[in-house]
């Protein structure tokens, strides 16, 4: 261990997406010495792919908008399972976080009056998403990254954390390897913020990038933290379905927000057939009213294409199953017949290029073919809503890796705002806590030695398994058996198969050396993916109802009893265990906001 590279910080942030960058800036501003580690190049985090915008009740387009309405929309979108305090802080603080980005140099699209423009998205009562065309994530990350670098925050790129280190019950640092050299590195830090993003690479069809292997979820679980709401995985209704090489790539919700409609192979706008009771009062029931809404929002109700994502994804799934799908197993998304080519190219430049280049489809001239794709995990590390601290002293989580904020279903645009609000809070509180620590917790040599041995284990394998085949089979299991529609038999089958897959990982052999070896890297990611997949399957089997991103065909209804229960996953002797916990109860002044409609 003495020969291993070492660095010492007050706060170590793992992940350099929106949440990690915002946390690092906040911790720095609070006086901490901050290190920022990321598995890919700085600027390449998932956040860069975000398209539609950042949800914040700024009231720039609709002056009636305010945090109470945003809070209410968010809770209803999550089918009331969100942690109320997180949803409250998020709605209250998001506008300031957007304005602050602008002060730091972000260039948002404008209203005719010169204010930050805001666009419509599903489940939001008012046009509320601050955006930069359909490339909002790029602008967000560019701004935060420039600021982090200008502040002199130490950045470790292409460096993957494989273990968190503890002294007794509290965090003491992290262990990782450089992707390029394969050499090890130890970070000493009394506060660690996890901002590692999501888990989508455990599914066959996903909008997520190679980085989304659930590392932070698994690291937290191993360190003794709880994961909450893991049964809730968001399948975005509109991913590309053709050609096969691009299956799953996201088609932003902005297409529908800007006027696009969904049709089946009979040309029918089928979403009118799928308006649930819960949203009837606020959804248009005729095409005429829905079309009028784009120009006169005060006097008309929203089109059903803009229902929350879980509703739209289920409807598409049902249409395809009933034989009314498009030629390649999706449905049609049509904006060409509803908006001019100039409008489409100005508002949706990335979508225009994406379809032209990847599918040879001109979206200004004809419809797109789209279908559900695994997009986001609502579940994540259970944290204190105000500070972002997990149950393990010194371990914080923010952004997609944290749970609770979005309940059973996230509204579009609410992730970018979540990253900013809770990234900042976690960074600040991690710094305050580090400042309170009298002597830095120690890292035991044995722990470092064990972490190194575990990281090198795949090279000692003698079996005939290849990490890529195991990953492929895992993705197939999750897609088929713990996907958008679930039932008990299939999930039990999935859990058996996960045991087999885990056993196969012990027989993996990795060829070659430690220098830039993707096979080895995947071999180290796989246990994380398996761990997280097991949490999803176990929690999903336990929750015998359908709600938000969790749909069971053996329990199709929403059950009020489950409406007040969270499921928490933790490790019990290395095995994933699930326990129930009552939902935190909402104060009356917030509860009253739901009586008004």
492/516 Cα distance (integer angstroms): 38
Of 117, 118, 202, 208, the residue at the interface with ligand FAD (CB under 6 A) is 208
Binding segment for ligand FAD (CB under 6 A), chosen from 112-120, 412-420, 437-445, 462-470, is: 412-420
Q: Looking at 49-57, 69-77, 142-150, 571-579, which segment touches ligand FAD (CB under 6 A)?
A: 49-57
Structure tokens at 98: 């957007």
The answer to whether residues 475 and 373 touch, using CB atoms and an 8 Å cutoff, is no
20 contributes a contact to ligand FAD by CB under 6 A: yes
Nearer to ligand FAD, 257 or 303 (CB): 257
Question: In a 3-state reduction of DSSP, which class is residue 357?
Answer: helix
Q: How far apart are CA 26 and CA 418, in angstroms?
A: 15
Coarse DSSP helix, strand, coil percentages of the chain, rounded to the nearest 5 percent: 40, 20, 40
Site string for ligand FAD, 470-509 (x = CB under 6 A): ----------------------------------------
Q: Which is nearer to ligand FAD, 45 or 315 (CB)?
A: 45
Q: Are 188 and 166 in contact (CB under 8 A)?
A: no
Nearest distance from residue 413's CB to ligand FAD, in Å? 5
The verdict on 237 binding ligand FAD (CB under 6 A) reads: no
Nearer to ligand FAD, 48 or 69 (CB): 48
Q: How far is the CB of 52 from ligand FAD (least distance, A)?
A: 3
Ordered strands of the 11-14 beta sheet: 154-156, 34-37, 11-14, 191-194, 395-397
**x-or-dash string of contact with ligand FAD, 129-168, rule CB under 6 A:** -------xx----------------------xx-------
H or E element at residue 171: strand 170-178
The yes-or-no answer on residue 263 being catalytic is: no
- Please, which residue, 211 or 305, has the CB nearer to ligand FAD? 211
CA 11 to chain centre: 23
Indicate which residue of 28, 72, 131, 236 is catalytic: 236
Q: To 10 degrees, the CA torsion angle through 111, 116, 122, 123?
A: -110
Neighbours of 371 (CB within 10 A): 29
* Residue 49 found at the interface with ligand FAD (CB under 6 A): yes
Parallel, antiparallel or unpaired: strands 368-377 and 233-240? antiparallel
The closest residue (CB) to ligand FAD is 17
Catalytic residue among 76, 256, 301, 309: 256
| Least distance (Å) between residue 128 CB and ligand FAD | 11
Residue 183 has phi, psi (to 5 degrees) of: -80, 160
Q: Which of 24, 28, 40, 184 binds ligand FAD (CB under 6 A)?
A: 40
Single out the residue of 18, 77, 123, 407 in contact with ligand FAD (rule: CB under 6 A).
Answer: 18
Q: x/- string (CB under 6 A) for ligand FAD, residues 389-408? A: ----------xxx-------
| Per-residue x/- track, 343-382, ligand FAD (CB under 6 A) | ---------------------------------x------
Name which position in 26, 27, 38, 536 contacts ligand FAD (CB under 6 A).
Answer: 38
Phi then psi for residue 267, to 5 deg, are 85, 5
CB half-sphere exposure, 106, CA atoms < 13 A: 29
Number of other residues whose CB lies within 10 A of the CB of residue 345: 15
Contact between 219 and 471 under an 8 Å Cβ cutoff? The reply is: no
Region from 42-50, 61-69, 227-235, 309-317 binding ligand FAD, contact rule CB under 6 A: 42-50
Q: Name which of residues 180 to 199 contact ligand FAD (CB under 6 A).
A: 195-197
What's the CA angle centered on 99, arms 33 and 37, to 5 degrees?
30
Among 215, 389, 490, 545, binds ligand FAD (CB under 6 A): 215
Tell me whether residue 197 or residue 260 sits nearer to ligand FAD (CB atom). Answer: 197
199-202 long-range contacts (CB < 8 A, ≥24 apart) are: 199/233, 199/377, 199/529, 199/532, 199/533, 199/536, 200/374, 200/375, 200/376, 200/377, 201/471, 201/475, 201/525, 201/529, 202/474, 202/475, 202/478, 202/529, 202/532, 202/533, 202/536
Count the Cβ atoms, other than its own, within 10 Å of residue 152: 9
Stretch that binds ligand FAD, among 12-20, 103-111, 481-489, 574-582 (CB under 6 A): 12-20
Which of 177-185, 221-229, 415-423, 532-540 is the region at the interface with ligand FAD (rule: CB under 6 A)?
415-423
> Which of residues 388 and 413 has its CB atom nearest to ligand FAD in the complex?
413
Rounded to whole angstroms, the Cα distance separating 407 from 75 reads: 7
Given candidates 155, 250, 315, 495, which one binds ligand FAD under the rule CB under 6 A?
250
Q: Does 45 bind ligand FAD (CB under 6 A)?
A: yes
Q: Is 309 in the site for ligand FAD (CB under 6 A)?
A: no
Residue 223 vs 494, nearer CB to ligand FAD: 223
**What are the residue ranges of helices labelled H in 406-487?**
414-436, 445-460, 467-481
Specify the residue, 187 or 555, whose C-beta has the smaller distance to ligand FAD: 187
Selected from 82, 207, 238, 566, the binder of ligand FAD by CB under 6 A is 207
Active site residue 217: no
The closest alpha carbon to 136, from 114, 113, 117, belongs to: 117
Confirm or reject binding of residue 220 to ligand FAD (CB under 6 A): no
Quick one: which of 391, 373, 265 has its CA closest to 312?
373
Give yes or no for residue 173 binding ligand FAD (CB under 6 A).
Answer: no
Angstrom distances, CA of residue 232 to CA of 87, 201, 566: 17, 15, 11
β 191-194/395-397 pair status: parallel
DSSP 94: H
For the annotated catalytic residues, the residue numbers are: 236, 256
Contacts with ligand FAD by CB under 6 A lie at 14-20, 37-40, 45-47, 49-53, 136-137, 160-161, 195-197, 207-208, 211, 215, 250, 376, 399-401, 412-416, 419
């Amino acid at each position: 261990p003495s020969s291993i590279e070492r660095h010492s910080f007050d706060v170590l942030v793992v992940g350099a997406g929106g949440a990690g960058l915002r946390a690092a800036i906040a911790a720095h501003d609070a006086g901490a010495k901050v290190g920022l580690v990321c598995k890919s190049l700085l600027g390449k985090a998932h956040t860069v792919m975000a398209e539609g915008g950042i949800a914040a009740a700024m009231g720039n387009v609709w002056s009636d908008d305010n945090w109470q309405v945003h809070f209410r929309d968010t809770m209803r979108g999550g089918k009331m399972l969100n942690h109320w305090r997180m949803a409250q802080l998020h709605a209250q603080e998001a506008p300031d976080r957007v304005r602050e980005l602008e002060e730091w140099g972000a260039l948002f699209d404008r209203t005719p009056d010169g204010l930050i423009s805001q666009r419509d998205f599903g489940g939001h009562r008012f046009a509320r998403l601050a955006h930069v065309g359909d490339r909002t994530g790029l602008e967000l990350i560019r701004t935060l990254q420039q600021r982090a670098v200008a502040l002199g925050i130490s950045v470790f790129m292409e460096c993957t954390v494989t273990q968190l280190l503890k002294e007794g019950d509290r965090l003491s640092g992290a262990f990782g390897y450089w992707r390029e050299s394969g050499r090890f590195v130890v970070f000493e830090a009394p506060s660690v913020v996890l901002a590692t993003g999501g888990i989508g690479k455990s599914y066959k069809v996903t909008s997520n990038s190679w980085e989304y292997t659930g590392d932070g979820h698994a690291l937290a679980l191993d360190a003794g933290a709880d994961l909450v709401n893991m049964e809730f995985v968001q399948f975005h209704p509109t991913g590309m379905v053709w050609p096969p090489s691009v299956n799953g790539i996201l088609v932003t919700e902005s297409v529908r927000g800007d006027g696009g409609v969904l049709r089946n192979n009979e040309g029918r706008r089928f979403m009118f057939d799928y308006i649930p009771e819960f949203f009837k009062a606020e959804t248009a029931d005729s095409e005429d009213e829905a079309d009028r809404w784009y120009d006169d929002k005060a006097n008309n109700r929203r089109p059903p294409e803009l229902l929350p994502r879980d509703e739209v994804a289920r409807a598409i799934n049902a249409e395809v199953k009933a034989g009314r799908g498009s030629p390649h197993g999706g449905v049609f998304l049509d904006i060409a017949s509803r908006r001019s080519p100039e409008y489409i190219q100005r508002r949706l430049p990335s979508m225009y290029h994406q379809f032209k280049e990847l599918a040879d489809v001109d979206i200004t001239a004809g419809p797109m073919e789209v279908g559900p794709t695994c997009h986001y995990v609502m579940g994540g590390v259970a944290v204190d809503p105000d500070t972002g601290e997990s149950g393990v002293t010194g371990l914080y989580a923010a952004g997609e890796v944290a749970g609770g904020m979005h309940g059973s279903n996230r509204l579009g645009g609410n992730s970018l705002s979540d990253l900013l609000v809770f990234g900042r809070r976690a960074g600040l509180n991690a710094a305050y806590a580090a400042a309170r620590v009298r002597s830095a917790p120690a890292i035991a040599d044995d722990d470092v030695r064990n972490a190194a041995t575990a990281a090198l284990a795949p090279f000692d394998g003698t079996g005939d398994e290849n990490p890529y085949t195991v990953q492929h089979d895992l993705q197939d299991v999750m897609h088929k058996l713990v996907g958008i529609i679930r039932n008990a038999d299939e999930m039990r089958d999935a859990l058996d198969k996960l045991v087999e897959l885990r056993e196969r990982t012990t027989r993996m052999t990795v060829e070659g050396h430690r220098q830039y070896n993707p096979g080895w890297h995947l071999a180290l990611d796989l246990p994380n993916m398996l761990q997280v997949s097991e949490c999803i399957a176990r929690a999903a089997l336990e929750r015998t109802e359908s709600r938000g991103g969790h749909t069971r065909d053996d329990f199709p209804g929403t059950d009020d009893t489950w409406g007040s229960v969270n499921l928490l996953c933790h490790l019990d002797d290395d095995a994933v265990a699930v326990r129930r916990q009552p939902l935190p109860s909402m104060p009356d002044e917030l509860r009253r906001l739901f009586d008004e409609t």
